[in-house]
Amino acid sequence: MKPDNTEKRNQLNSGKIILFSLFSVFFKIGAFTWGGGYVMLPLIRNEVIQKRNWITMEEFIDGISIAQSAPGAIAVNTATFIGNKVAGKKGAIIAVLGTILPSYISIMVIATFFLEFREMTVVQNFFKGATPAVLALIISAIIDIGKQSLKKYYNVIISVGLLFLLLYFQLHPILIIIIAGTLGLFIKEQT
């Protein structure tokens, strides 16, 4: 009986530990997601794939596809995906809470104490310096993910064509996803 209990307790503990680390990892990611959800992707790669091996790069790419196919913030959707993969629905909720809590806290602090926050030159200059780094982060995420998902030459063509539709014809992002999914149906010998 005793070993059974210990095992059960260990399972419970490791369950709690994984939930706690999910929360802390996504809290950290949420706090450093500046200027749009995509900044989060290199952070996730670093924390979730490289450091902790919670999911594979392949699963990560599927996760981003799902995050973009669903409405709402990319950051929240990606957190839901990873949380659910790692620890089920509970994990999803914990990861989302971790992602949004830094936002909630900082907005409340700013709204309560210093609405003139955005007038502060130090803050403005900090973000003036950080924004180009945000761009660098997104570009390095594009390269990392592109290496995986643009292996086939026709995918490069599709991606460029879609970019043209998006930027030149101003098609809605969800239409871009729908067109790509439909095109996928007609492509043979996908691996």
Partner 1 sequence: MIILQLFLSFIQIGLFAFGGGYATLPLMEKEIVLSQQWLTHAEFLDVITISQLTPGPIGINAATFTGYKIAGYCGGAVATFAFCLPSVIIVLLLMNFLKKHGTNPQINKVVKGIRPAVITLMVAAAYSIITGGGITDLKGIIIAIVSFIVLQTHKMNPIIVLVLAGIVGIIIY
Residues 143-162 that bind partner 1 (CB under 8 A): 143, 145-146, 149-150, 155-156, 158-159, 162
Tell me if 14 contacts partner 1 by CB under 8 A.
no
Nearest residue (CB) to partner 1, 12 versus 160: 160
Tell me if 42 contacts partner 1 by CB under 8 A.
yes
Angle of the 74-113 helix axis to the 57-69 helix axis, nearest 10? 70
Nearest residue (CB) to partner 1, 1 versus 185: 185
Residues 90, 98: Cα–Cα separation, whole Å: 12
Of 37, 32, 31, give the one whose Cα is nearest residue 75.
37
- Name which position in 135, 153, 168, 169 contacts partner 1 (CB under 8 A): 135
Phi, psi of 188, deg, nearest 5: -95, 170
Of 76, 72, 95, 100, give the one whose Cα is nearest residue 84.
95
Query: Least Å distance between CB 97 and partner 1?
Result: 9
CA triple 138-143-160, angle to 5 deg: 95
- Name which position in 19, 76, 86, 87 contacts partner 1 (CB under 8 A): 76
- Name which position in 7, 24, 56, 184 contacts partner 1 (CB under 8 A): 184
Tell me if 131 contacts partner 1 by CB under 8 A.
yes
Residue in the block written with tokens 């996908």: 190
Tell me if 189 contacts partner 1 by CB under 8 A.
no
Stretch that binds partner 1, among 2-10, 13-21, 135-143 (CB under 8 A): 135-143
Query: Least Å distance between CB 4 and partner 1?
Result: 30
Which tokens belong to 118? 């955005």
Residues 117, 161: Cα–Cα separation, whole Å: 42
Stretch that binds partner 1, among 1-9, 11-19, 165-173 (CB under 8 A): 165-173
Residues 191, 189: Cα–Cα separation, whole Å: 6
